[in-house]
């Protein structure tokens, strides 16, 4: 036992015998990666994530291979036959038939494609537009902020539904003949062009909030550049409210498509979609008969929205640095 003097760390092992250095080492370039890797680790432990993944996976298969779920092709000859109007469920037709004599289940299965396409594409477009513009505006401030904010004000100040009605009715008049993707992209375009400012505002607000937080100041103090700050600290921190909004938005868009169909401006009616089927079902609601025609696509819609919102929730919890601390 050797002599100890004041200041000497008697019980500490020599530095090279411990892994401390590796732990303390700051690998500057690897930060984002490890953050996402850690998020993935947390995701894997989340039951919400698995539930939503199952829903979305089933939905994806339904979108890609509807034939796996039903033998009836609603686009085929004789798929809609008035002699089957409101016929009860039978072998291979688990929910029976609708007003036009179409198989309710088959239409719901095939309708996933249009509804999901509108929802997903419009959300992607909106989020991309909104995040970029919002991050830039919030972070740089000044004239950039003013420009982006005023532009987003202009678009956001025009109510979404009204704007969509105008846009779609105009496009319908100019390009009356469009196929599946043509019709989908018109609805997507109308929704995205007037919905992006919602994300912009949120992103900008979140960026403003995060920008003043201590750790960003700290990062600036130790010499991180503005852009690095934006990319590494602000965007990930601002991401969670956007993800939550985006998942909600996805549902809203799918529902909007049906609202536009209700007004006669959604997807053309020869495209099988939940929006069209729900719009058709509305007349039955009043009389309270054959409500199964409404419930099947409505449930599909609800479950789809549920899937995306749950996913958003799980991803947010995994990503959120604040949630990580608890």
Partner 1 sequence: MRLSRRTRLAGVALIAAGSLTLAACGGGSDSDGGSASSDAIISVYGTNPQNPLIPTATNEVGGGDPLDNLFSGLVAYNTDGSVTNEVAESIEGNEDSTVWTVKLKDGQKFTDGSDVTSDSFVKAWNYGANPANKQLNNYFFYPIKGTDDVGNTEKGADTVSGLKVVDDKTFTITLKESESDFPLRLGYSAYFPVPDVAYDESGKITKEYGDAPIGNGPYKLTKSGWEKNKQISLEPNPDYTGVHKPKNGGLVFKFYNSTDAAYTDVQSGNLDVLDQVPPSALTTFESDSGVKAYNEPGSSFSSFTIPERLAHFGNDEEGKLRRAAISMAINRPEITEKIFNNARTPASDFTSPVLDGWTDEVPGNEVLTFNAEEAKAKWAEADKIDKWSGKFELAYNNDGAGNKEFSEAMANQIKNTLGIDAAPKAYPTFDELRTVVTDRSIKTPFRTGWQADYPSMLNYLGPIYATGAGSNDGDYSNKDFDKLIQQAAAAKGDDRYKLITEAQTLLLTDLPAIPLWYQNATAVTTTDLKDFVFNWKQKPDYYALTK
Partner 2 sequence: MWWYVAKRLLQTIPVFLGATLIIFLLTKLRPGDPIVALAGNKPISDEVRQALRDQYHLNDFVLVQWLYFLKDVVTFNPDFVGLDGQPVFQKISNALPVTATLALMALAMDAVIGIVVGTIAGLRRNGWFDSITLVLSLVLLSVPIFVVGFVLQFLFGVKFGIFSPTVGGDWSVGDLILPAFVLAIANIATTTRLTRTSVANNLTADHVRTARAKGLSESLVIRNHVLRNSLVPVVTYIGINLGSLMAGAIITEGIFNVQGIGNLAFQAVNRGDTPLTVSVVAVMVMIYVFMSLIVDLLYAVLDPRIRYV
Contact range with partner 2 by CB under 8 A, out of 62-70, 95-103, 122-130, 167-175: 167-175
Contact range with partner 1 by CB under 8 A, out of 13-21, 88-96, 112-120, 261-269: 261-269
Structure tokens at 181: 């993707």
Q: What does DSSP assign to residue 75?
A: T
Contact range with partner 2 by CB under 8 A, out of 82-90, 96-104, 130-138, 164-172: 164-172
CA distance 203 to 135: 6
Q: Give the x/- contact pattern for partner 1 in 265-304, rule: CB under 8 A.
A: x--xxx---------x-xxxxxx-x---------------
HSE, CB side, 13 Å, CA atoms: give it for residue 275: 30
Contact range with partner 1 by CB under 8 A, out of 89-97, 170-178, 230-238, 305-313: 170-178
Q: What are phi and psi of 203, to 5 degrees?
A: -65, -45
Q: Which is nearer to partner 1, 122 or 271 (CB)?
A: 271
Tell me the DSSP string of 83-149. Answer: GGTTPPPBTTBTT-B-TTS-BHHHHHHHHHHHHHHHHHHHHHHHHHHHHHHHHHHHHH-HHHHHHHH
- 260-299 residues in contact with partner 2 (CB under 8 A) are 262-263, 275, 278-279, 281-282, 285-286, 288, 294, 298
Contact range with partner 2 by CB under 8 A, out of 82-90, 134-142, 160-168, 217-225: 160-168
- 200-229 residues in contact with partner 2 (CB under 8 A) are 201-202, 205-206, 208-209, 212
Structure tokens at 61: 């298969």
When binding is defined by CB under 8 A, the residue of 57, 68, 264, 303 that contacts partner 1 is 264
Q: Which is nearer to partner 1, 172 or 228 (CB)?
A: 172
What's the start-to-end Cα distance of the chain, in Å? 43
Q: Could you tell me which of 207, 279, 201 has the C-alpha nearest to residue 237?
A: 207
Q: Could you tell me which of 199, 38, 34 has the C-alpha nearest to residue 125?
A: 199
- 69-128 residues in contact with partner 1 (CB under 8 A) are 77-78, 80-83, 85, 99-101
Angle in degrees, 0-180, between the axes of helices 292-319 and 274-287, rounded to the nearest 10: 130
Q: Could you tell me which of 183, 297, 201 has the C-alpha nearest to residue 249?
A: 201
Residues with Cβ within 8 Å of 103's Cβ and at least 6 positions away in sequence, in order, are 70, 72, 74, 79, 93, 95, 97
Residues near partner 2 (CB under 8 A): 146, 150-151, 153-163, 165-167, 169-170, 173-174, 198, 201-202, 205-206, 208-209, 212, 240-241, 244, 248, 251-252, 254-255, 258-259, 262-263, 275, 278-279, 281-282, 285-286, 288, 294, 298, 301-302, 304-306, 309, 316, 320, 322-323, 325-326
Residues near partner 1 (CB under 8 A): 77-78, 80-83, 85, 99-101, 169, 172-173, 176, 264-265, 268-270, 280, 282-287, 289
């Amino acid at each position: 036992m050797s002599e100890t003097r004041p200041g000497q760390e008697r019980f500490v092992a020599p530095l090279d015998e411990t892994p401390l250095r590796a732990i303390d080492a700051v690998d500057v370039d690897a930060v984002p990666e490890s953050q996402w890797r850690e998020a993935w680790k947390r995701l894997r432990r989340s039951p919400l994530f698995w539930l939503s993944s199952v829903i979305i996976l089933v939905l994806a298969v339904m979108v890609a291979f509807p034939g796996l779920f039903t033998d009836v092709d609603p686009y085929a000859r004789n798929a809609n036959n008035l002699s089957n109007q409101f016929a009860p469920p039978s072998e291979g037709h688990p929910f029976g038939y609708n007003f036009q004599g179409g198989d309710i289940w088959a239409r719901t299965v095939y309708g996933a494609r249009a509804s999901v396409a509108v929802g997903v594409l419009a959300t992607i477009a909106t989020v991309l537009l909104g995040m970029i513009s919002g991050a830039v505006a919030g972070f740089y401030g000044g004239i950039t902020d003013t420009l982006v904010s005023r532009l987003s004000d202009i678009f956001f100040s025009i109510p979404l539904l009204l704007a969509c009605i105008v846009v779609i009715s105009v496009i319908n008049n100019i390009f009356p003949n469009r196929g599946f993707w043509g019709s989908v992209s018109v609805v997507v375009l109308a929704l995205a062009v007037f919905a992006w400012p919602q994300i912009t505002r949120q992103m900008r607000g979140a960026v403003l909030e995060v920008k003043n937080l201590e750790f960003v100041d700290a990062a600036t103090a130790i010499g991180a550049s503005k852009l690095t700050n934006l990319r590494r600290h602000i965007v990930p921190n601002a991401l969670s409210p956007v993800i939550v909004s985006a998942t909600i938005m996805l549902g809203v868009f799918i529902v909007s498509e049906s609202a536009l169909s209700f007004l006669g401006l959604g997807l053309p009616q020869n495209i099988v979609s939940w929006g069209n089927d729900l719009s058709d079902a509305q007349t039955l609601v009043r009389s309270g008969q054959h409500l199964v025609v409404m419930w099947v696509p409505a449930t599909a819609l609800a479950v789809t929205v549920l899937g995306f919102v749950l996913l958003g929730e799980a991803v947010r919890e995994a990503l959120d640095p604040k949630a990580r601390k608890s």
